[in-house]
Amino acid sequence: VTRTLLLVGIGAGDPDQITVEAITALNRADVAFLVEKGTDADELVDARRTLCEKHVKAPGLRFVVVPDAARDRSAGNYTGAVDDWRRRRAANLASALRSELPEEGCGALLIWGDPSLYDSMIAVVDEIRASESLDLAVEVIPGISSVQVLAARHGITLNRIGRPVMITTGRLLAQGLPDNCDDVIVMLDAHCSYKDLPAEVRSQLDIYWGAYLGTADEILVAGALDEVGEEIIARRKDARERKGWVMDTYLLRRR
């Protein structure tokens, strides 16, 4: 028996930023699996249901919430801890697929933004196929990433003519701006890590920052990092206190 699993990119927050292919995929599904992190704001969970209500016309879509495995954030070995976490997530999801998805059925996993960018679901599903002896036909459907929304909102291209761009994390930026790239996109940064770059590096940078992209709470700030860096820190902190969570992405550009 083969179950079908669709990994569907659903955009970064705006229910209008979903492709026709993704809508068709959601309409094929018997079951929508929502993998919830304990830390997910209810708002983010609700947003996925609202999106399905808006776009799924086929009757009878069932929602199954899969509680995500807890991650040990205190572990010293980051890669090891993430590997272990991935294995436990794979076991969790595999058991939900076995019990909730009929044989020959079609399930959809809703993934924020695009499944290819800083999302572990493709790796988790690979792990399930390798280790859980579950026969799955997998299809990946691309979505609009927060990175694309950031660029569109600021009206910029990510690369300059003939130049590369790098996509990295706050954790890595904290170790320094790469030497070989002048356009760096930063995701997963809970600490505004640019503030810790050396002053002479900061003084050469522009920043294009966006929070809650694609939602009614969207905030955009752009300018010379030395001029707007403090404002971004303050606005991020305010918004986080008001809403209880924040998701932000930014581009650092060497002048």
Instruction: Provide the minimum distance between the beta carbon of 69 and ligand SAM in the complex, in angstroms, as a whole number.
Output: 15
Where residue 188 falls (left for φ over 0; alpha for ψ -120 to 50; beta otherwise) is left
Binding to ligand SAM (CB under 6 A) within 108-127 occurs at 112-114, 117-119
Residues in contact with ligand SAM, counted by CB under 6 A, come to a total of: 20
User: What is the C-alpha separation between 204 and 206, in angstroms, rounded?
Assistant: 7
Answer for which of 34, 96, 187, 192 binds ligand SAM (CB under 6 A) is 187
Looking at 37-45, 99-107, 125-133, 241-249, which segment touches ligand SAM (CB under 6 A)?
241-249
User: Within its chain, how far is the Cα of 98 from the centroid?
Assistant: 26
Residue 17 found at the interface with ligand SAM (CB under 6 A):
no
Instruction: Give the CB-side neighbour count of residue 203, counting CA atoms within 13 A.
Output: 3
Instruction: Kindly identify the residues of this chain, within the stretch 205-224, that bind ligand SAM according to CB under 6 A.
Output: 210-214
Residue 112 has which token pair?
Answer: 């924020």
Residue whose C-alpha is closest to residue 4's, from 34, 30, 36: 30
146 touching ligand SAM, by CB under 6 A: yes
Note the helical H segments in the chain.
20-28, 42-55, 78-100, 121-131, 146-154, 170-173, 199-202, 225-243
- Per the rule left: phi > 0, alpha: psi between -120 and 50, beta: everything else, 139 is beta
Q: Out of 44, 138, 172, 188, point to the residue binding ligand SAM (CB under 6 A).
A: 188
By the rule CB under 6 A, 229 interacts with ligand SAM: no
Say whether residue 168 binds ligand SAM (CB under 6 A). Answer: no
Interaction of residue 239 with ligand SAM, rule CB under 6 A:
no
Stretch near ligand SAM under the rule CB under 6 A, chosen from 151-159, 176-184, 198-206, 243-251: 243-251
Q: Which helix or strand (DSSP H or E) is residue 40 part of?
A: none
CA dist 67 and 83 (Å) reads 18
> Which residue is nearest to ligand SAM, using beta carbons?
113
Name the residues that contact ligand SAM, by CB under 6 A.
12-13, 112-114, 117-119, 145-146, 187-188, 210-214, 247-249
